[in-house]
């Protein structure tokens, strides 16, 4: 269960980031033919980020305490004290932006209004940047746990 959650959490997150890039590309090339794709991709981002929240949250609440102890006693304690602490809070920002994006994307003037396109692209870009930062932080946290375990084995 724990390992499956650890695989699903970043997978949903990456798929959400890819969907946000998809939205940016569709909006840059906005036309009558791709309006429904913009809306579908925006809703997909929200669904994927909720799934990221549920899988990551379940792991964090029920399993992370052991990893936290290993990380804090290992050579990279900052993986928890800085990165995990930041990650668990910045994620809510990404989640809120993901919930806001489908609301903007349902606006009817995407083709005619440059300002609407900028709003959608800005929101999607913030999702991409924060999402990539969270994925990177997750990788370093995993490395922190590995190094902590290695240190325990060596000792």
Partner 1 sequence: MEKDINQNADNLTTAFGISASVAIVFNTLLMVAKESNPAILAWMKMVTIHHWITHGLLVTGVFIILGLVLYKTKIQIQIMSLTWMVTLSSILSGLGIVIFFLLD
Q: Radius of gyration of the chain from Cα atoms? A: 18
Write the DSSP symbol of residue 81. I
Place of tokens 């969907």: 19
Nearer to partner 1, 43 or 149 (CB): 43
36 versus 109: smaller Cβ distance to partner 1: 109
Whichever of 8 and 50 has its CB closer to partner 1, that residue is: 50
Contact pattern from residue 65 through residue 94 relative to partner 1, giving x for each residue in contact according to CB under 8 A and a dash for the rest? ----------------xx--xx-xxx-xx-
Q: Is residue 107 a contact residue for partner 1 (CB under 8 A)?
A: yes
* Residues between 46 and 65 with contacts to partner 1, criterion CB under 8 A: 53, 57, 60-61
Distance CA 124, CA 101 (A): 7
Q: Tell me: does residue 31 bind partner 1 (CB under 8 A).
A: no
């932080």: which residue's tokens? 137
Residue 155 lies near partner 1 (rule: CB under 8 A): no
Q: Residues with Cβ < 8 Å from 147, sequence gap 6 or more?
A: 74, 75, 76
Q: If we measure between CA atoms, which residue out of 61, 64, 41, 56 comes closest to residue 127?
A: 41
118 vs 150 by CB, closer to partner 1: 118
- 126 lines the binding site for partner 1 (CB under 8 A): yes
- B/e letters for 49-68, b = 16+ CB within 10 Å, e = fewer, are bebbbebbebbbeeebeebb
| Binding residues vs partner 1 (CB under 8 A) | 53, 57, 60-61, 81-82, 85-86, 88-90, 92-93, 95-97, 99-100, 103-104, 106-107, 109, 112-116, 118-119, 122-123, 126, 130
């Amino acid at each position: 269960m724990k390992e499956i959650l650890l695989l699903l959490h970043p997978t949903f997150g990456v798929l959400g980031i890819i969907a946000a890039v998809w939205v940016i590309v569709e909006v840059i090339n906005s036309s009558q033919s791709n309006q429904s794709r913009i809306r579908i991709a925006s809703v997909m981002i929200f669904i994927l980020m909720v799934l990221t929240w549920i899988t990551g949250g379940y792991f964090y609440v029920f399993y992370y305490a052991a990893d936290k102890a290993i990380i804090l006693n290992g050579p990279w304690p900052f993986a928890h004290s800085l990165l995990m602490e930041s990650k668990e809070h910045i994620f809510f920002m990404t989640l809120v932006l993901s919930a806001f994006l489908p609301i903007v994307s349902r606006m009817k003037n995407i083709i005619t209004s440059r300002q609407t396109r900028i709003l959608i692209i800005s929101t999607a870009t913030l999702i991409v940047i924060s999402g990539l930062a969270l994925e990177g932080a997750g990788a370093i946290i995993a490395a922190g746990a590995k190094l902590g375990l290695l240190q325990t084995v060596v000792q």
